[in-house]
Structure 1
Amino acid sequence: MKLRPVLLVLLLLAGFYYLTTRGASSRALIPWAHGVSRASFVPAAGEGSVDRSVGSDDGPLGNFHLTESASAAPAFDAEEQQNIAVYRKALPSVVNITSTAVSYDFFNRPVPQQGQGSGFVLDKEGHILTNNHVIDNAQRVEVTLSDKHKYKATVIGIDTHHDLALLSITAPGLVPATLSDSGGLVVGQKVYAIGNPFGLSGTMTRGMISAIRSIGTSGTQGGGGAIEDAIQTDAAINPGNSGGPLLNSRGEVIGITTLIASSGADQSAGIGFAIPINTAKAVLDDFAHYGKVRRPSLDIETLPIGPDIAEQIGLPADYGVLVEKTMPGGAAEKAGLRGGNQRVYMGNTPIDLGGDLIVGMDGQEVQTPQDLSQALTRHKAGDVVTVTVFRGQRKLNLKVTLGDAKDAISLPGRST
């Protein structure tokens, strides 16, 4: 009986020896005795995915699982496919523009300064559209295509009023952008901007049309004019985007990005503006036919009229544009429009009363200076329009041959 405990101990030792020596070849079949394998794959709950075990029980992070896609090729949803299609279509037409100007330091030594912007190819002949402020005062302009090739550019013409510039390069295999019609744009429409923000070429951002409004460019690099029917967007537009295309969901150009409301931060605040492409088409047409922009003008100085002012000075309408002065020999004077003849002060501001009150053009009501400016943009210098005015209490229709504004110039053959 005393031998039984001894035999039991010997039996246990023999079994332990067997398992730890001769049973080593079967360890891979006993995961509960040897831990989880280094990397094993088992189906996950989600279709098209696998659960990969990583690490080991004795590793620094222990054992954990990664869920990975089982698909070799990436899958894109409909929205992503549209984004990619727009980018692939438009990118070959978008260019980076580097302008070099010379300034002088304290010791009157020349110091080259570079600015960057964007633009896009108009035709295979090498015409490129951008903003005037991108190349303003530059001694040299270089264009870099999407394939990274660089070319020296010639400035063909500029329009300071609309902040547009036409360049030309000589390069093979150019891909022209497709221009759309900006006349039917609506708020909420999806838009894309491609350009060179902060020198990061080929950058695309997406947003929508936030508003369509007339804005002044006074105090900006745009030359102190006004942009009628400007496209406001929340697509991120930053320094370097200027002159680049604003695109619709088909990759067609609907505008030229030109300025941002930055509150002094010099970066996107979600409010950017683009010149409508129809405005650019009219400017390009003038360049093609006349070698310069023939922006139409009535050659007048005006005062906007609202209900308060109309009541104070006894006007027959509480809206419109009051003619304060007509330029000598200008379009309005030749047509018989009358300026003011009575000097009064509105606060500290002198104004001339007694002139004609413009309330319409070609049958369309003119309530504000923006309405008048918009009506003029539909015409060219030399066109004959019908201007409706109140002269005292009488309503008159006068035929006016539009003049040619002198602040837009061209620089044919200027090489930079």
Structure 2
Amino acid sequence: MKMNIIKKLIPYAFVGVISGATTFGAINYFNEKNSDSDFSYFAPKNSDARYASFNMTGVGEDFVKASKMTVPAVVSIKNYADRTNRRSEQDMFDLFFGNPFGGQPRQQQQPPQNMPSGMGSGVIISPDGYIISNNHVIAGASKLEVVLSNKKSYVANLVGTDPTTDIALLKIEEKGLPYLNFANSDNVEVGQWVLAVGNPMGLNSTVTAGIVSAKGRSIDLLSQQSRTPIESFIQTDAAINPGNSGGALVNPNGELIGINSAISSKTGYYEGYGFAVPSNLARKVVEDIKKFGLVQRGFLGVNTLDLSDTRQVTAYNQQNKTNLKAGEGVYLTQVVAKGGAEAAGLRTGDIITKVDNTVISSYYDLSFAVGSKRPGDKVAVTYTRNGRSNTVDVTLRDERGGTSFRSKADLTVTEKIGSEFEPLSDRFKTDYGLNSGVIAKNVVSGSEMAKIGVVDNYIIVEVNGKPVNSQKDVEKILQGYSGNVQVKYVDEYGRITTRGFKMP
């Protein structure tokens, strides 16, 4: 009897085995076929499901609570930029000798005029409509539209930006808005749960979960926007994609611990490495912008070498015939005259190892510890000299050597318009048929000069119809001026363009 039953079941078992093998093979086949696609689908193993269930038992309710608090306070930001401002950066070789690969400059396809040039996210931080986002989200905008989670739309005013930290502050005219409170990002721990909330790839009000993977991370991203960047990112594996920039990174209590800014990816999409500006730094920046109209940043008054960067150390040794060893700390290559460091007795050759309670392992540690302070603040700097450790109090100063706060009215012309200028040589003018001109340098992302399409190495020929041959010429024309500014410049392809902006 049993043998008969077994014989009857064998065909069914055989069919089951064949079916399972076919299914397994098909899954592998389609996974391989779709390995390069934008979307992947995963069936969790039983052990994965049990582990996920175990985790969600402890934090599920916290995720729901935090999501309900956060989603209404996160907005979508649409950047409507003047199409003529969206130009690629080229060097001076291309400017005067043409495209090295031949042919005409490649023209990028632009979206219709009524469509945004870019989209990102922002976080409402007060009930009266202040919104924090990234500087790169709003850069070059002629109009900024903010859309709430309830689909209500507003035109936003740009209050101020800080390329140094990639933070921007916007304002919409509304009251009683939902908002998020800043948490103390110094208390964030590696391994703790976090949520990222934003609008990735146009998918509004998207919530993803992950953990804090690392703190104090630098990825050399902001050096493209600023000569003195501050990078001390919170790294997370919560899924962050294009469109999440400017959105919220929150703890399970729904408190803001960071502003999502970047991802590290070979494809441009999520690969498990996201980075957020810590809330303490972001809060300091927006408080400065609201109160003073610009960021108050302190400086030690030193030039440095990052000893944690082996390549920098090797290059420095070869150039200066020294024998510095790579390691932790920041080596002082120069102490600026009349700066805070000089006044406190620091010297060239000292190695800074600590500022207040922050251990200085690299340049970015130092830039964060000092750059998050204001002029006039005192910091305790620990350094080594001739193998001995010392600590001294340093009073920080601004870039001009002052210790008092500055307002927009105190800014120089070049600071207001966001560019410095270097003169052209007479030989250069003769060779290229120019009667006047200065070279734009250190053009600030999102500045007035950047908005009209000027980038580093463009040649400014005239300002308000007057020829310019030095930075002093530019300053003389615009000092005390409050009207519309017309700038004639030569771009990377030798084209002459005249564009204007309202003097700040």
Among residues 68, 72, 81, which one is paired with 1:88 in the alignment? 68
- Name the counterpart of 1:370: 364
Task: State the Cα distance separating 1:279 from its structure 2 match.
Answer: 1.0
Q: Aligned letter for 1:170?
A: E
Deviates more, 1:364-373 or 1:402-411: 402-411
1:96–1:217 distance in 2 versus 1, CA, 3 Å: farther
1:229–1:358 distance in 2 versus 1, CA, 3 Å: closer
1:193–1:278 distance in 2 versus 1, CA, 3 Å: same
- Name the counterpart of 1:150: 153
Number of residue pairs the alignment of both structures matches: 322
Task: State the Cα distance separating 1:117 from its structure 2 match.
Answer: 0.4
- Name the counterpart of 2:80: 100
Task: State the Cα distance separating 1:316 from its structure 2 match.
Answer: 11
1:364–1:267 distance in 2 versus 1, CA, 3 Å: closer
Residues 207 and 235 of structure 1 are in contact (CA less than 8 Å); yes or no, is this contact kept in structure 2?
A: yes
- Name the counterpart of 1:168: 171
Residues 321 and 369 of structure 1 are in contact (CA less than 8 Å); yes or no, is this contact kept in structure 2?
A: yes
1: CA distance, partners of 2:203 / 2:383: 52
- Name the counterpart of 2:293: 291
Residues 131 and 170 of structure 2 are in contact (CA less than 8 Å); yes or no, is this contact kept in structure 1?
A: yes
Query: What are the residue-to-residue correspondences of 1:400-411 with 2, within 5 Å?
Result: 400-405=394-399
1:229–1:110 distance in 2 versus 1, CA, 3 Å: closer
Query: What are the residue-to-residue correspondences of 1:110-149 with 2, within 5 Å?
Result: 112=113, 114-149=117-152
Query: What are the residue-to-residue correspondences of 1:316-331 with 2, within 5 Å?
Result: 319-331=328-340
Q: Give per-residue Cα distances to partners, 1:187-221, cap 9 Å, x unaligned.
A: 22111111110111111111111121321343787
If the length of structure 1 is used for normalisation, what is the TM-score?
Answer: 0.67
1:329–1:243 distance in 2 versus 1, CA, 3 Å: same
Residues 215 and 234 of structure 2 are in contact (CA less than 8 Å); yes or no, is this contact kept in structure 1?
A: yes
- Name the counterpart of 2:374: 380
- Name the counterpart of 2:45: none
- Which structure 2 segments of 5+ residues have no match? 1-55, 87-106, 401-414, 419-443, 449-501
Task: State the Cα distance separating 1:159 from its structure 2 match.
Answer: 0.9
Describe the SS at the equivalent of 1:270: coil
> Could you say which structure has the larger radius of gyration?
1
Task: State the Cα distance separating 1:111 from its structure 2 match.
Answer: 6.7
Deviates more, 1:308-317 or 1:322-331: 308-317
Residues 261 and 271 of structure 1 are in contact (CA less than 8 Å); yes or no, is this contact kept in structure 2?
A: yes
Residues 217 and 227 of structure 1 are in contact (CA less than 8 Å); yes or no, is this contact kept in structure 2?
A: no
Query: What are the residue-to-residue correspondences of 1:207-356 with 2, within 5 Å?
Result: 207-218=210-221, 223=226, 226-263=229-266, 265-305=267-307, 313=322, 319-339=328-348, 355-356=349-350
Residues 111 and 117 of structure 2 are in contact (CA less than 8 Å); yes or no, is this contact kept in structure 1?
A: no
Residues 135 and 141 of structure 1 are in contact (CA less than 8 Å); yes or no, is this contact kept in structure 2?
A: yes
Residues 222 and 229 of structure 2 are in contact (CA less than 8 Å); yes or no, is this contact kept in structure 1?
A: no
Q: Aligned letter for 1:192?
A: L
2: CA distance, partners of 1:110 / 1:80: 41
Residues 218 and 224 of structure 1 are in contact (CA less than 8 Å); yes or no, is this contact kept in structure 2?
A: no
2: CA distance, partners of 1:199 / 1:223: 29
Describe the SS at the equivalent of 1:303: strand
Q: Give per-residue Cα distances to partners, 1:309-359, cap 9 Å, x unaligned.
A: 7999577997532211233443334444334xxxxxxxxxxxxxxx33334
- Which structure 1 segments of 5+ residues have no match? 1-75, 340-354
2: CA distance, partners of 1:85 / 1:363: 34
Describe the SS at the equivalent of 2:286: helix
Q: Aligned letter for 2:378?
A: V
Q: Give per-residue Cα distances to partners, 1:240-279, cap 9 Å, x unaligned.
A: 000000111121111111000111x111011101111111
Residues 97 and 142 of structure 1 are in contact (CA less than 8 Å); yes or no, is this contact kept in structure 2?
A: yes
If the length of structure 2 is used for normalisation, what is the TM-score?
Answer: 0.56
Q: Aligned letter for 1:337?
A: L
CA RMSD of aligned residues (A): 3.7
Task: State the Cα distance separating 1:223 from its structure 2 match.
Answer: 4.7
The structure carrying a bigger strand percent of its residues is 1
1:137–1:307 distance in 2 versus 1, CA, 3 Å: closer
The structure carrying a bigger helix percent of its residues is 2
Task: State the Cα distance separating 1:79 from its structure 2 match.
Answer: 4.6
Q: Aligned letter for 2:164?
A: H
1: CA distance, partners of 2:214 / 2:187: 13
Task: State the Cα distance separating 1:94 from its structure 2 match.
Answer: 0.9
Residues 322 and 356 of structure 1 are in contact (CA less than 8 Å); yes or no, is this contact kept in structure 2?
A: yes
Q: Aligned letter for 2:263?
A: I
Residues 130 and 166 of structure 1 are in contact (CA less than 8 Å); yes or no, is this contact kept in structure 2?
A: yes
Task: State the Cα distance separating 1:364 from its structure 2 match.
Answer: 6.0
Instruction: Give identity over the alignment, percent.
Output: 38
Q: Aligned letter for 2:255?
A: E
2: CA distance, partners of 1:365 / 1:247: 26
Task: State the Cα distance separating 1:378 from its structure 2 match.
Answer: 5.3
Residues 223 and 229 of structure 2 are in contact (CA less than 8 Å); yes or no, is this contact kept in structure 1?
A: no
Q: Aligned letter for 1:268?
A: Y
Residues 194 and 238 of structure 2 are in contact (CA less than 8 Å); yes or no, is this contact kept in structure 1?
A: yes
1: CA distance, partners of 2:381 / 2:118: 44
Q: Give per-residue Cα distances to partners, 1:96-136, cap 9 Å, x unaligned.
A: 000111123969x9974521000111111110000110001
1: CA distance, partners of 2:129 / 2:68: 20
